Amino acid sequence: MAMHPLRKQRLIIVLFIVFGAAVAVGLISFALRENINLFYPPSDIAAGKAPIDKQIRAGGMVLEGSVKRDPNSLRVEFVVTDYAANIPVVYTGILPDLFSEGDGIVATGKLDNNGVFQANEVLAKHDENYMPPEVQDAVDKAANLTKS
């Protein structure tokens, strides 16, 4: 019993659509995997858990007295801490209005071979009481580590 030509054509079209969708899903998931910015607190970065030269997010509190601004450019250096470890950050650009020492930030960028976080974006907390949940979590975890 032979397959009807119209049925055969429909089957080929359906298989083509299914195959095309599978390829699209594969490409999309690959692209997203490359762009996921995983969050690392300073303790994890200091412990060597963060990848070098890959786009990641780091966050913590800006260490008091650590902000150094270059008078001739928009380059700023500061230290991010979770009170267990300190990570130097370098950023060139205009910092958010709410950026200040002792406050929580989340920075997006890459860790270089010297352990310096090269930020390409810095986000500051919204108000006096708000802290990004992952920063609060990192500070809490570090506080628990230093107590024990």
**Can you give the pLDDT at residue 126?**
59
Question: From the first residue on, what is the mean pLDDT of each consecutive set of 10 residues in the chain (148 residues)?
Answer: 84 94 90 75 92 90 94 95 94 92 92 94 71 70 64
**Can you give the pLDDT at residue 118?**
96
39 token code pair:
């969050």
**Can you give the pLDDT at residue 62?**
94
**Can you give the pLDDT at residue 97?**
87
Q: List, in sequence order, every beta strand (DSSP E) within 1-148.
A: 39-40, 55-62, 68-69, 75-81, 86-92, 104-111, 117-124
Sign of CA dihedral 112, 121, 35, 63: positive
> Is 3.40.1280.10 the CATH number for 39-147?
no
**Can you give the pLDDT at residue 31?**
77
**Can you give the pLDDT at residue 29?**
83
**Can you give the pLDDT at residue 78?**
96
**Can you give the pLDDT at residue 129?**
55
**Can you give the pLDDT at residue 2?**
72
Using a cut of 0.85, tell me whether the model's pTM lies above it. no
Domain boundaries of the chain, sorted by first residue: 1-36, 39-147
